[in-house]
Amino acid sequence: MATARSIVLDLLVKTAEKGAYSNIVLDSALEKNALSSRDKGFATVLFYGVLERRMTLDYIIRAYSKTEFDKLQVVAVQLLRMGLYQLLYMDSVPDNAAVNETVKLASQKQKGFINAILRSFQRDGMKIDYGELSGDAKLSVEYSCPKWLVKMWCNRFGEEKTVNILKSTFGRPPLFVKVNTLRCDADTLIEEFKKDGISARKNKLLSDCVEVDRIGGIEACRAYRAGLFHVQDISSQICCKIVKPVMGETVLDMCAAPGGKSFSIAEAMGNKGKLYSFDLYDGKISMLRDGAKRLGISIITADVNDASVYNENMPMADRVLCDVVCSGLGVIRRKPEIKYKPKTALEEIPPIQKQILKTASRYVKVGGTLIYSTCTLNFDENEAVVEDFLKNHPEFEPEALNLPKECGLEGPMATFLPCCQDTDGFFIAKLRKKL
């Protein structure tokens, strides 16, 4: 019978070998295996924890292993990461249990090697020796983040804010849901959550946003089945407020999947008007349609479309939202594996973003608005893309976002940070087509 630790080991090996998304493989594994609520919680903390602290854990392994790191077997590396993480970061696990239970999962050939490293680290007081590391290099190891990314953020936000961003990438992030205002209000939703033993509270910034403490098995929740809400981070909800949709208008959501922004926009329109939602893949469009049906939304026309290629059949719109493909550096706390992508992967993205924004602008009516957003914290994907667009499209001008004062952000472009606004890292820009 599979245990919490054996399941985590299997998931870590799969993630390392196949590059699967952490949230998808974990949800699937927990659904298939009959674990207690306590064991599911343990597996979740250990799985995400190892991913989040991977570089720190590997730094320790390199210091204690006589075998070169690159020559270690994948399973051995994952077991050492699991054992070290429990020793360092899981106070609820006794040290001997952390070692013994990890060694149990090893093959007969690996048991001695893994036991020796974990015991040696334990005898040394379980302290990380950073040696002569300093500056970006020390922050990289300490917060398990590639040095190039630490340097980029330090140059952009300063070291103090960067450290706070790095700290925010650890642990489970807050869970926000958007109230389906077509069917209920925040107070009603909170009362419905109580019936399933779920604690929730109103958000201070948005009246139709609720923060939920625990909601495991979301599809089993009665409020979910009744279509009273959808899951959506507060930064994304704020983005939809900035779109400022009006009843009876025509709105385009160019990169809509999985559908959260389309749902929020449709609700703000009172389910009256025309909302066209697009994505590259048919499977995602099917999910979007199912979500709209569950929420009782009928104004969404969802279809497959390449946002980077002009479609002459597309209607002109009052408002066009481009929540474009990006590197995802703003959602590391939800998908920690994102931070380990090579720097070169980022270089391929801005040209695609520029093309999508350029194409989308052709659908905007005179006097209409164009919203550009990403869930990343990278100047080249954010401000640089907007500035390049404005330089080449004088028919558009920046327009103030008019965010709530509590956000502490002003102007036509804004970057939300997990450490400042307690949101995902998010960028929004608002442009208007001149009359």
Q: Any residues with CB less than 8 A from the CB of 55 and at least 6 apart, and which?
A: 140, 141, 144, 145, 146, 340
410: nearest Cα among 399, 400, 396: 400
Amino acid identity of residue 374, one-letter, is: T
Q: Is 56 strand, coil or helix?
A: helix
Q: Are 300 and 274 in contact (CB under 8 A)?
A: no
**Alpha carbon distance 433, 29 (integer Å):** 48
Q: Are 175 and 215 in contact (CB under 8 A)?
A: yes
Q: How many CA atoms, within 13 angstroms, populate the side-chain half-sphere of residue 302? A: 28
Answer whether the bond into residue 258 is a cis peptide, omega within 30°.
yes
Q: Are 402 and 410 in contact (CB under 8 A)?
A: no
Spot the catalytic one: 255, 375, 407, 419.
375
Go through 375-393 and write b for each residue having 16 or more CB atoms within 10 A of its CB, e for each that does not. Answer: bbbbeebbeebbeebbeeb
Told to judge if 375 belongs to the known catalytic residues of this protein, a careful annotator would answer yes
Q: Which residues are catalytic?
A: 375
